[in-house]
Structure 1
């Protein structure tokens, strides 16, 4: 959704960091091509990166409660629901379409658009640390590059049998691909608000899932 709006991947911060480096380097370009300050796409990258970092630092609360305890998993999932809901409301009242025209004409350029981007990024930052703490190989939203490396270096990559180390990572990649397809299909049919609403619904399902999952014995 965020990429359709402003070409920013809220869950992949590597590209945003590289974009900021390029933005700084443009200040040293030849006269006539040189730019000063961050342009709107660069500002959106900064917004996403900082919000992601704020969201992921919430994982420290989980460290105190117990990163794998049901209490924290339920609370953190509810926090993600609230962050996604806040993004939905911000986008709705931003008055922007949520679809970028070109690279030089992104959406979410007004204050409420930035707020929507920030809340989505914070939600994915929190999701990232949760997946990291529970050691889930399905946490491809944040570490897809690492997942690809692990898949293609699996010694049983081409084995015609069930291989858990390979299969679970491939399933994660396919789930991400399917999720991106569904997100775009929903936003194309019902708009960005509908897609963000669906995200809230999935987060609620995840919350109930954790609620019904017993905590491990510590």
Structure 2
């Protein structure tokens, strides 16, 4: 139940960022929906609502498109996953016990997504935005489990309170990086700048690796690999050094 030291949590948090790109590569490749980036899904739903008032009465498109259904599924399950993350507030958001357990729950969600994607029997790659590869009920469940895992990861990353922020949405990271006063001081290590670079690179690598596995073995296998990676990250949290009491270095 000891707290980890946020300053020494860079590796598992960078792995979280990697998983953001990895999981989103699956959902975007199949249905053009980001399970971790809910800004786009929220705007998409706003556009779907606006479409109800577009055109003359009697000729308006009042259908709920499958892409909008998938975006709504992702948004709602992301919120549900983030809500589960509040369990950490009771256990201690920075305790090894919660960071291990919460990451293990993420792994279980990813495993459930892998199984439902496999059971769906559908393809993994959508060639055209208006023609998603996933359309049946099983794939909606897969999207839900992937999004829930990202929502849980996001709130857990935020609670550790580092330069990696939520490990999910990196728009803020990009803005803070470009606004960092030490951005061009390349002759020394700057945590506020360099950890943001690590987060961005890790997410990029996650997307690249995820798509490579999709092309080689399909979405279900990719999610299976993601399950194993999340289990490794969960174990990793156990070995992160604890936070030292203030003044301990001086007293020693």
Give me the TM-score of the superposition, normalised by structure 2: 0.83
Aligned to 1:59: 85
Aligned to 1:19: 44
Contact 1:140–1:172 (8 Å) recurs in 2: no
The ranges of structure 1 where at least 4 consecutive aligned residues each deviate by more than 3 angstroms after the TM superposition are 214-218
2: CA distance between counterparts of 1:126 and 1:33? 42
Cα distance, 1:6–1:159 mapped onto 2, change above 3 Å: same
Q: Does 1:8 align with 2:38?
A: no
Give the Å deviation of 1:201.
1.2
Give me the TM-score of the superposition, normalised by structure 1: 0.95
Cα distance, 1:160–1:217 mapped onto 2, change above 3 Å: closer
DSSP-derived class of the 1:143 partner: coil
Instruction: Report 1:69-84 matches (<5 A).
Output: 69-84=95-110
DSSP-derived class of the 2:33 partner: coil
Aligned to 1:173: 200
Contact 2:30–2:132 (8 Å) recurs in 1: yes
Give the Å deviation of 1:197.
1.3
Q: Does 1:157 align with 2:183?
A: yes
2: CA distance between counterparts of 1:213 and 1:155? 30
Give the Å deviation of 1:26.
0.5
Give the Å deviation of 1:33.
6.8
1: CA distance between counterparts of 2:166 and 2:98? 21
Q: Which runs of 5+ in 1 are unaligned?
A: none
Contact 1:11–1:141 (8 Å) recurs in 2: no
DSSP-derived class of the 1:142 partner: coil
Q: Which runs of 5+ in 2 are unaligned?
A: 1-25, 246-252
Contact 2:75–2:147 (8 Å) recurs in 1: yes
Q: CA RMSD in A?
A: 1.6
Contact 2:158–2:166 (8 Å) recurs in 1: no
